[in-house]
Amino acid sequence: DELGVPSATGEPAEADGRTIWRRFAEHYRLFRGTPSKLWLDYTFAEVFGIYKDLGPDTADEFYDHLSARLAEPAFRPRALFDKFNIEVLATTESPVDSLEPHAALAALQGADGRKWGGKGGKVVTTFRPDNLVEPGWPGWKDRVEQLAAITGEDTATFDGFLAALRRRRQDFIAAGATCTDHGNLTAATEDDPKAAAGIYARALAGEVTDDEVLRFPALMLVEFARMSVDDGLVMQLHPGANRNHNQWLYEGWGRDVGGDIPDATEYTRALKPLLDAFGNDPRFRIVLYTLDETVFSREIAPLAGGYSAVFAGAPWWFLDSPEGMRRFRETIHETAGFYNTAGFVDDTRAFCSIPARHDLARRIDASYLARLVAEHRMTDSEAAETAIDLAYNLPRKIYGLEQ
């Protein structure tokens, strides 16, 4: 409440921006040594030009400086897009979300002769179907009907549902999408279209069981992989987030306010049905993320090294940190190498932190490469080339951004 976050219960929250900022500054010391403080300090200095420590004594100075800078034309989103030299910024949308904002942005690009970020700079969408593959989510049936209205397909049958998703994927591709994004609870997959059709029919009738609610996303992952083989969208899978674990926080402030906790996640057995079908298909590509770093060396690295379609995704969320990135390289590299990883992409929601995220990732990778050079496991020239590949060339290639 003191930080101005409105509660789900209607309790009043602090509304004065300066008061909220002072409260934040008073407790900023709690972030010492954390990635959050690294990102914020970098952003204060390199983006806003503040080279002081934030604390109670400097809170007002920071607040006034930030307020003044944010009011400048140079700090409008498109101006920062240029300043940060961004080539591709991707959002995620549900199949039932409107893509009109992307169409509006595309119409603006070049209309006034202004440059957009780096080479070929653009904002693209990403196909995120989670809320259509979990029948237990509130409003699932309404979204299925909405999908039918958007696509003109009859979603009363499972075949019609799949046809609607395929058609919607084409809309996303037209809006610049190169990837899909799947946040399933687990990495489980199952290749059984008949079973999927039965669960779908029962879900529409309101007769689905709890076990079937958990099974349907696993069945749909294989269907989405089948679609990716046809349309070329790169799959991204990031399971293992136990959502809204803090019940008090969820009941008081709702979802997506910091109450999610990582879960142990298994990949080797879970992904076998999908990989049996598509793991060596040259038309298919899947990037695996995890919140469970115990699987880096045991499962993800061998899968990325053993299947041509599999790539290890960058350390994500709780692992997007200096030590998390170091452990990722140390545990992935000896089995998967560098070129079975997907390079670095940030997952920030804070636009001004984008340079900080990439700077940190590049420094950690450079540090790891320098160690390999010092130990005579790589040459200087190999390390220099690899550093560029990890930061730039690999993400462009793996995520289909080269076209």
Q: What is the pLDDT along the chain (403 residues), one digit of tens a residue?
A: 788 888 888 888 889 999 999 999 999 999 999 999 999 999 999 999 999 999 999 999 999 999 999 999 999 999 999 999 999 999 999 999 999 999 998 888 766 666 678 888 899 999 999 999 999 889 999 999 999 999 999 999 999 999 999 999 999 999 999 999 999 999 999 999 999 999 999 999 999 999 999 999 999 999 999 999 999 999 999 999 998 899 998 888 888 788 899 999 999 999 999 999 999 999 999 999 999 999 999 999 999 999 999 999 999 999 999 999 999 999 999 999 999 999 999 988 899 999 999 999 999 999 999 999 999 999 999 999 999 999 999 999 999 998 6
Given 52, 75, 98, the domain boundary residue is: 75
State whether 235 and 327 are in the same domain: yes
With contact defined as beta carbons under 8 Å apart, do 31 and 40 qualify? yes
Amino acid at 32: R
State whether 378 and 240 are in the same domain: yes
Given 45, 75, 105, the domain boundary residue is: 75
Domain count, the chain: 2
With contact defined as beta carbons under 8 Å apart, do 176 and 106 qualify? yes
What would the two tokens of residue 290 be? Answer: 């995890």
Question: Given the DSSP bridges, would you call strands 310-312 and 286-288 parallel, antiparallel or unpaired?
Answer: parallel
State whether 315 and 379 are in the same domain: yes
Q: How far apart are CA 35 and CA 43, in angstroms?
A: 12
Q: How far apart are CA 45 and CA 47, in angstroms?
A: 6
E strand residue ranges, 294-333: 310-312
State whether 323 and 192 are in the same domain: yes
**Does the model's pTM come out above 0.85?**
yes
Q: How far apart are CA 351 and CA 84, in angstroms?
A: 10
State whether 200 and 237 are in the same domain: yes
Q: How far apart are CA 176 and CA 89, in angstroms?
A: 11
pLDDT of residue 6: 85
Q: How far apart are CA 98 and CA 361, in angstroms?
A: 33
Question: What are the residues whose beta carbons fall under 8 Å from the beta carbon of 189, sequence distance 6 or more?
Answer: 218, 219, 221, 222, 225, 270, 271, 272, 273, 274
State whether 19 and 147 are in the same domain: no
State whether 48 and 140 are in the same domain: no
The residue assigned the tokens 């670095």 is: 344
Instruction: Encode 304-313: b = buried (16+ Cβ within 10 Å), e = exposed.
Output: bbebebbbbb
> Could you write out the DSSP letters of every residue in 84-153?
TT-SEEE--B-TTS--HHHHHHHHHTTTTS---TTTT-EEE--B--HHHH-TTSTTHHHHHHHHHHHH--
CATH number of 68's domain: 1.10.2020.10
The residue assigned the tokens 């140390």 is: 330
Residue 373, judged by CB atoms within 10 A of its CB (0-12, 13-18, 19+), counts as middle
Q: Which of 254, 261, 349 is nearest to 5 (CA)?
A: 254
Given 49, 75, 101, the domain boundary residue is: 75
* Residue 403: inside a domain: no
State whether 182 and 314 are in the same domain: yes
Q: How far apart are CA 371 and CA 380, in angstroms?
A: 11
Q: How far apart are CA 383 and CA 14, in angstroms?
A: 51
* Residue 372: inside a domain: yes
Q: How many residues does the chain have?
A: 403
What would the two tokens of residue 305 be? Answer: 């090294």
CATH number of 292's domain: 3.20.20.140
pLDDT of residue 114: 66
What would the two tokens of residue 246 be? Answer: 């803090």
